[in-house]
Each structure stands twice: as C-alpha cells, then as structure tokens.
Amino acid sequence: MSADTSGSGYVEAEYSRDSKYISDRITSDGSSRWPVEPGRYRLVIARACPWANRSVIVRRLLGLEDAISMGMCGPTHDERSWTFDLDPDGRDPVLGYERLQEAFLARDPEYSRGITVPAMVDVPSGAVVTNNFPQITLDLSTQWTAHHREGAPDLYPEHLRDEMDEVMERVYQEVNNGVYRCGFSGSQRAYDKAYDRLFTTLDWLSERLESQRFLMGGQITEADVRLFTTLARFDTVYHGHFKCNRQKLSEMPVLWAYARDLFQTPGFGDTIDFPQIKEHYYVVHADINPTQIIPKGPDTSGWLLPHDREQLGERPFGDGTPPGPPPPAEQVPADHGPGGIPHR
C-alpha cells in the first residue's frame, strides 16, 4: 500500500503482485545447473490460470509436447496449493504428487512463498526448477530450439526483441496485471486509477492493431500470446468479477476481431477451457465473491465468428506452419469450448 500525500490521510491500497519467483533457468549452453534434456522436465499448469496458459500455448506452437511432458492441476486450490484433482486418483501420474506444494518443498523444505503455476519440475528429483513464468516461455523459444517441431514459428525474433520487450512490459503492467489491479483494489481511488490505466492501454492496443494483424506486425510472436490469455478471459471473468466494465471485449471492434483471429488459430483457442476459468475465479476469490456462485454466462459462441483479419496479412506463422492437433490427453473437452461448441 502507498500513503496518500495530499494531506487527507487516505491510504490508496493499490494491489501489488508478489513477483519473487524461483529464477533458475533451463539452458542449452551449460550456463545453469539445469540442462536442456528431453523427457527430464514436467511443465505443471492449470488451464484456468492466464500465466500458465501462456506456457501451454508456446509449448504447443513450438511442438515441444514430446520433449516436455505436462501435468494439469484442477481449476481451484486452497490456501496451501494447487492440487492434481483432475487425475483419476488425485495424483500426478508422473510426479506422484497430490499437491504442487510437494515439488516446491522438494526444492526447499523451508519454502514459504506462493505455490504458483506454471512450474517446471525436474522429474528425477521431483523438485521445482522455476516458476518464473515470463522467462519460462522465452526459454522455450530460445533454449529448446534443437527440439522444436519442423515448421515451428520464431516467437521471439532477435531483430524485434528490443521493441517486443517494451510492448510486452506495457501489456504485462497495464493489461495482464492491470485487470488484477482493478479486481483487488483496496480503495475507490486505487480502483479508479487502475481502471483508467487498463482502458488507456486497451485503446492504445486497438490503435496499434487497426493496421497490422499482430502486435509486432504480420506474424504471431510471444507478445500476442501474452495479450491473448488476458483477452480470452476478459468477458468471462474480468468484465464482471474484476469490475473492468467500461466495455466488454466484444464491444471493442479491433481487439475483439484480433482476439477471435488468435482464438481460431491452432494452439490458441484449443487451449481455452471456459468452465475451468469461471470456476477458478468465482470460487477461489471468495473475498470478492463470498457466495462462490459461478455465473452461467456469458455466451461464448461469438469466438467462432469470422474475424476478417486476413486482409492485414496471410502468414501468421511467418515461414513456419501451424501446429497439429494437441495430444488426446491434452485436449480441452468438446463441451468446454466456445458456447459448448467443439473447437474447430
């Protein structure tokens, strides 16, 4: 919280995210204790979480499913940890854990910070390597290149990195984290400030995307992945639950068409599980929604409407190709897609 210096004694109560992650990296050049090694690591995610959703998309676009296995937690958690309650016996079949917390304690028995997804876990030791979600996806692009699928896109092009980093930082601060800043504001003043920052940036993004298909131009990059996971949750949870209600995404023409374009691209929309997203936010955030009632709406069938963004560019993967379908065990249930309609 920050103190008001205007003389009123008012405390602004601005939301601040804990970003003290385990910062180890898995590298290909021997610069860390964790070498790139297919089959050694397990990516633990929850479909409900936007930060984890990034890593699911990037892993899929790059074709790393055979090199890095994936464990899935359920959409809700208690004060201790995410749990593997989606697995038949409530245990991750590879790690043998009931709770993700066990992997963090295997790394540090005194670990006392947040148990977060995504987390990369070293299978032989059962210990978390890192939960630093922004770095995880960049390393999938830059350190695992020897194991990318044929036709994998370059999601972090070297010649665009300086500008990309600036765009992604603004997207993170004002949109990805901005919706949380609105939802968890502790005062009217903090909320009003967060709301204005969020929609100022959404307007800036609309202007940027009016004349180019993707954030960095004519092809998909990591920047689009990072923005997409927030947009995919906007009308379903952030508009109402987090009071981000100047407009729905579906009422912002450019961003809505851009989001549908990505949703209908293999590797994006087929990672989105709307029921799990709603269950997570409306049940876990009991301080915001004390009844824990999960709304029946909104209608999500609009995600499959034509977007007409092809006129701005016809090579979303650049010189690469779209990924194939996800492995059967990783497919979102057909009735969890847009409007209960199976993903195309």
Annotated binding residue at 256?
no
Distance, CA of 231 to CA of 235 (rounded, Å): 8
Q: State yes or no: is 180 an active-site residue.
A: yes
> Is 129 in contact with 22 (CB distance < 8 Å)?
yes
Placement of tokens 């999601």 in the chain: 155
Placement of tokens 């032989």 in the chain: 124
Placement of tokens 């939802």 in the chain: 183
Q: Give, in degrees to the nearest 5, the angle at Cα 184 between 179 and 185.
A: 100
Question: Residue 334: phi, psi to the nearest 5?
Answer: -55, -40
Q: State yes or no: is 182 an active-site residue.
A: no
- Choosing from 49, 73, 182, 244, the catalytic residue is 49
Query: In a 3-state reduction of DSSP, which class is residue 71?
Result: strand
> Is 107 in contact with 128 (CB distance < 8 Å)?
yes
Distance, CA of 124 to CA of 126 (rounded, Å): 6
- Choosing from 21, 180, 195, 258, the catalytic residue is 180
Distances 163 to 13, 59, 166, 169, 190 between C-alpha atoms, Å: 32, 23, 5, 10, 29
User: Which of 153, 150, 145 has its CA nearest to residue 319?
Assistant: 153
Alpha helix positions (H), 294-343: none
User: Which of 185, 228, 182 has its CA nearest to residue 205?
Assistant: 228
Q: Give, in degrees to the nearest 5, the angle at Cα 77 between 51 and 70.
A: 50
Q: Give, in degrees to the nearest 5, the angle at Cα 213 between 210 and 216.
A: 100
The terminus-to-terminus CA distance of the chain in angstroms comes to: 46
> Is 115 in contact with 82 (CB distance < 8 Å)?
yes
DSSP symbols for 92-111 = -TTT--SBTHHHHHHH-TT-
* Residues acting as catalytic residues: 49, 180
Binding residues: 82
Binding residues for glutathione: 82
